[in-house]
Amino acid sequence: MFGFGKTQNVKSTPGVNLASVLHDEKAKSEIILNSIDDGVLLIDTNHAIQLFNKGAEKITGWNQKDAIGLDYKSVIKLVNDKNEPYTAEQDPLEQIFNEIAPIRDNSANLKTSSDKTVAISMSVSPLISDTNEVTGAVAVFRDVTNERQEERQRAEFISTASHEMRTPVAAIEGYLALAMNDRVCHIDSKAKEYLDKAHASTQHLGKLFQDLLTSAKAEDGRLQNHPVVVEMGELLQQLTEDMRFTAEKKGLGVDFLIGANTEDALSSSHTSSGVKMVRPLYFVHVDPERIREVIVNLFDNAIKYTEVGKITITLAGDNDVVQVRVQDTGHGIPAEDIPHLFEKFYRVDNSATRTIGGTGLGLFICRKIVELYNGRIWVGSEFGKGSTFYINIPRLSSEKAQELQIKEAAQNLPTGTTQTSKV
Ligand code: ADP
């Protein structure tokens, strides 16, 4: 306000020439830009740097005079967490000319002129002319080394604390189970009822610590991951058999369908005459333990949130992807909750779910694991009718799968088939 009034005074003062007013305006803009602590950078459509403020000098280690006119890529060297240079698709300064909408990147790192790595948060906006053409881009970036360090420490604390707390909780759970075992102890029915409740709460606590530990690891990339060739049909068949018991205990049916024609239940892969039918093989390159976690989580949820009906697991795919679907006939999910479902600690809050225990971490962990394999997870649901969770994972051709299996065998690693049969 104050500055604006002053400018108008200058403009209206007779005898003040335009050149000096413009010079004043430029000087003022420069003062403002250079007093901003964040780095500010302007590039034209040829990627040449047109503006580079003091903040940018401080973060990058580059001198303004040297940086101006250079291709931004020689000055703003962006790298990921593994210190690998950003690809063109990852680089917001490159992408801005394709997307023509502001881009934010909170997980970038920048190599300074002395090759030091600085954690930065960057926001890039296009400059659009009156004729709707992109004439350049402005980037504003900040050194977030301290914030990221604190985030890492917080994740480390959560993972250490949950790891340490799991041990005593497991001991309590074990002793409660012993106390409730008729062959070990004799207790009256009231005491058994209380111990039952204590046991259920301890199990919930144990699951919460386990989920906290896994999600902290998933966030900072420490999740154990040993991908091998896995044939999803075999893995899912075993998993379905393992999980069938829990579903049937609640009176729910379980179907496993496989192949492009999903009407062929897997049980029909052996006909009554004993002739083995051929089914497609769905190879993927994943850690079977991690994928198992995802499927078990989706299956457990399907049981938890379904009162009557059945759970159907379907395996299908095309040349590029393998798709797993976990479908239930349960409560369903309200449309407004769907966009948040895969966020950390998100739980649908309604009368149907309020009494059902959970941590709100399961689907977040599922998403992190699926993304580890460049896959995608999403849900389709009709409230009151049921939900279907979908997972897409890049498919390996049989030739590629064989080639990788030979390599795995040569490295003396167990092959996908062996690992699959273990789970
Ligand atoms: P939770 O431990 O609470 O089950 P999740 O992350 O696994 O945590 O799921 C998040 C929320 O999504 C759940 O609290 C539940 O409200 C909803 N949800 C997940 N799966 C289903 C399902 N199959 N049917 C209905 N609601 C579901």
DSSP bridge pairs for 392: 323, 376
Which residue would you say has higher pLDDT here, 316 or 130? 316
Task: Please count the CA atoms within 13 angstroms of the CA of 324 that sit on its side-chain side.
Answer: 32
Q: How many angstroms does the Cα of residue 374 sit away from the middle of ligand 1? A: 23
- CA dist 110 and 377 (Å) reads 31
For the stretch 340-391, pLDDT in tens is 999 988 998 776 666 777 888 999 999 999 999 999 999 999 998 999 999 9
Mean pLDDT in residue range 325-336: 95
Mean pLDDT in residue range 214-233: 88
Contacts 24+ apart (CB under 8 A), 213-216: 213/158, 213/159, 213/162, 213/163, 213/166, 214/293, 214/361, 214/365, 215/344, 215/361, 215/364, 215/365, 215/368, 216/155, 216/156, 216/158, 216/159, 216/162
Q: Which atom of ligand 1 is nearest to the CA of 361?
A: 6
Mutation test residue for ligand 1: of 204, 207, 243, 363, the one with most atoms within 8 Å of CB = 363
Q: Which atom of ligand 1 is nearest to the CA of 363?
A: 6
Quick check: 301 and 362 in contact, CB under 8 A? yes
- CA dist 165 and 176 (Å) reads 17
Q: Where are the beta strands (DSSP E) in 218-276?
A: 228-231, 253-258
Q: How many angstroms does the Cα of residue 253 sit away from the middle of ligand 1? A: 20
Percentage of the chain beyond pLDDT 90 is: 60
DSSP symbols for 10-22:
HHHSTT--HHHHH
Which strands make up the sheet holding 386-394, listed edge to edge?
253-258, 310-317, 321-328, 386-394, 376-382
Residue 109 has what pLDDT?
96
Encoded tokens for 105: 């990147």
Q: How confident is residue 227, by pLDDT bands cut at 50, 70 and 90?
A: very high
pTM of the entire predicted model: 0.67
Where residue 208 falls (left for φ over 0; alpha for ψ -120 to 50; beta otherwise) is alpha
Degrees to nearest 5, angle at CA 142 with 139 and 147:
145
- CA dist 88 and 72 (Å) reads 13
- CA dist 329 and 384 (Å) reads 8
Quick check: 230 and 420 in contact, CB under 8 A? yes
Quick check: 346 and 339 in contact, CB under 8 A? no
Give CA 83 to chain center in angstroms.
Answer: 20
Residue 158 has what pLDDT?
85
Sign of the four-CA dihedral 180, 182, 187, 191: positive
pLDDT of residue 278 exceeding 70: yes
Mean pLDDT in residue range 288-307: 95
pLDDT of residue 264 exceeding 60: no
Task: Please count the CA atoms within 13 angstroms of the CA of 279 that sit on its side-chain side.
Answer: 28
Longest alpha-carbon distance in the chain: 105
- Distance between first and last Cα of the chain: 68
Q: Which atom of ligand 1 is nearest to the CA of 326?
A: 23
Nearest Cα neighbor of 37 from 61, 62, 60, 54 is 54
Nearest Cα neighbor of 215 from 301, 344, 391 is 344
* Position 372, amino acid: L
Where residue 345 falls (left for φ over 0; alpha for ψ -120 to 50; beta otherwise) is left
75-89, 99-113, 270-284: least confident range: 270-284
Quick check: 290 and 207 in contact, CB under 8 A? no
For the stretch 167-198, pLDDT in tens is 899 999 999 999 999 899 899 999 999 999 99
Q: How confident is residue 300, by pLDDT bands cut at 50, 70 and 90?
A: very high
Which residue would you say has higher pLDDT here, 12 or 38? 38
Q: What is the dihedral of CA 177, 181, 186, 187, to 10 degrees?
A: 50
Residue 352 has what pLDDT?
65
Q: How many angstroms does the Cα of residue 360 sit away from the middle of ligand 1? A: 7
Residue 122 has what pLDDT?
95
Nearest Cα neighbor of 418 from 231, 223, 282, 225 is 231
- CA dist 311 and 188 (Å) reads 38
Q: Which residue shows structure tokens 């239940």?
A: 265
Mean pLDDT in residue range 296-312: 95
Q: How many angstroms does the Cα of residue 333 sit away from the middle of ligand 1? A: 8
Q: Which residues line ligand 1 (CB under 6 A)?
A: 301-302, 305, 328, 330-331, 333, 341, 346-348, 353, 358-364, 387
